[in-house]
Amino acid sequence: MTDAVHIVLDETAMEAAGQGNVLASRLIHRAHAESGWLLYAPACALVEADRARPGTAEHLAALPGITVLDLDLAAALALARQDTWAAAHSRYAAQPTLNRPDGAIIATTAPKRWEDEPVRVLDLHA
């Protein structure tokens, strides 16, 4: 067990951060300023956020508190069976791993989208 807080931003959270959402901004600040707060941006969600709000990907990728998660083979195989790559990559990134034994929380402004999924959600809809 670890005291670290692992949070995956889905594309709606990334878009919200670009629009000045206070809760998303607080998460980004904490990830930069406090140890133990780890923020992840799955590459597929980053692409969708940038399509909806151009410039989002470049901006978020430049922030020191955010780790961009690449689309590796295991992620690609998981995504191939899903309808939307952004949500599928976010869900995959939130699964437990050796580094994140409890998995990660998905930050989103669309919590209903995650209701039937086996993930924990942080609602950023202010």
- Whether 113 shows a pLDDT value over 80: the answer reads yes
Return the biggest CA–CA distance within the chain: 38
Residue 30's pLDDT is what?
94
Residue 26's pLDDT is what?
95
Spatial separation of the C-alpha atoms in residues 14 and 24, rounded to whole Å: 8
- Whether 84 shows a pLDDT value over 90: the answer reads no
- Whether 1 shows a pLDDT value over 60: the answer reads no
Q: What is the DSSP letter of 68?
A: E
Spatial separation of the C-alpha atoms in residues 71 and 55, rounded to whole Å: 20
Q: Where in the chain does DSSP place strands (E)? A: 5-9, 37-42, 66-69, 105-108, 120-123
Please state the pTM of the whole predicted model: 0.92
Residue 125's pLDDT is what?
86
- Residues shown for the chain: 126
In sequence order, what are the residues at sequence separation of 6 or more whose Cβ sits closer than 8 angstroms to the Cβ of residue 56? Answer: 14, 15, 17, 18, 46, 49, 50
